[in-house]
Amino acid sequence: GNLVAPYTVAPYHDHYFSFRLDLDIDGDKNLLLLDTVQPQTLPAGNRRRSLWTLRTSQIVKEGAVSHGGGNKRVHWRLINPNKRTALGHFPGYYLVPGHVVTSLLTADDPPQQRALFSSNPLWVSRRKPGEFWAAGDFPNQSKGGEGLPQYVADGESVTNQDLVLWYNIGFHHLTLPEDFPVLPTLWHEFMLRPANFFTRNPAHDLAPSFLVRKKGQQKKTEKQ
């Protein structure tokens, strides 16, 4: 910990928040894709020596989802494979993380046993009644392993199903005197961004402008 006031030491600790995202992308039958940015070296003789391409793979069963070590190469995309836009795309949304921090505690540590969801930033499960809490209904009285680990233990298919994404935000709190006695505001965020959902930029929604003249009004001309 760190000395934050006379005779007062604040232990280092973690904060984690789990967001249950019950999304229906143009309907309740969706699937989750991983869009991974892949660097590629070009053969000799090309003027360019390298580029990058996009490789897409599908998550097929419930559980923790790869995040690529937080290197921004992996992008999570939820789509509806049963619909097509006017451009021929499957409508979807990206889940865009702010930053990725996972728990450093071992899985057999009692505090971690009560918050196993924090071992990974994203999980996916099929939507089922009663599955609402990432750490279980009563985490402070839990013996461990409840919540998300139980929800996904059967590893059911998540292909073309009603899905729930569980996104977890966290940070390692390096305690400071400036945090005592009340921690000031710290910002952590994520974003849901349309991905081939629209056929154009939806922000461009202004009607075209017209010059309206009163009846009988003539256009003014400048004297030469």
Provide the pairing of β-strand 13-21 with 63-64.
unpaired
How far apart (Å, rounded) are the C-alpha atoms in residues 85 and 119? 36
Can you list the pairs that 89-92 forms with residues at least 24 positions away whose Cβ atoms lie under 8 Å?
A: 89/196, 90/196, 91/25, 91/26, 91/196, 91/197, 92/25, 92/33, 92/194, 92/195, 92/196, 92/197
Q: Residue 209, Cα to own-chain centre: how many angstroms? A: 38
Could you report the per-residue pLDDT of 59-75, keeping only the tens digit for each?
999 999 988 765 668 89
How far apart (Å, rounded) are the C-alpha atoms in residues 49 and 120? 36
Task: Tell me the one-letter amino acid at 67.
Answer: H
How far apart (Å, rounded) are the C-alpha atoms in residues 119 and 112? 8
The pLDDT score that the predictor gives to residue 14 is 95
The CB density around residue 61, as the number of other CB atoms within 10 Å, is: 14
The pLDDT score that the predictor gives to residue 70 is 59
The pLDDT score that the predictor gives to residue 224 is 46
Name residue, tokens 């996904």. Answer: 152
The pLDDT score that the predictor gives to residue 220 is 54
Torsion of CA 141, 105, 102, 125, to 10 degrees: -50
The pLDDT score that the predictor gives to residue 163 is 98
Say how many residues make up the chain: 224
Question: What domains are defined for the chain?
Answer: 2-195 (2.70.98.20)
pTM of the model: 0.86
How far apart (Å, rounded) are the C-alpha atoms in residues 36 and 167? 19
Extended strands (E) in the chain: 2-5, 8-10, 13-21, 31-41, 50-58, 63-64, 74-79, 92-97, 122-126, 163-173, 190-195
Buried-state track 89-113, b at ≥16 Cβ within 10 A, e below 16: ebbbbbbebeebbbbebeeeeeebb
Residues facing residue 61 across a β-bridge: 157
| pLDDT per 10-residue tile (average), the chain, 224 residues | 97 96 97 94 92 95 84 88 97 92 94 95 96 95 93 97 97 96 90 96 77 64 49
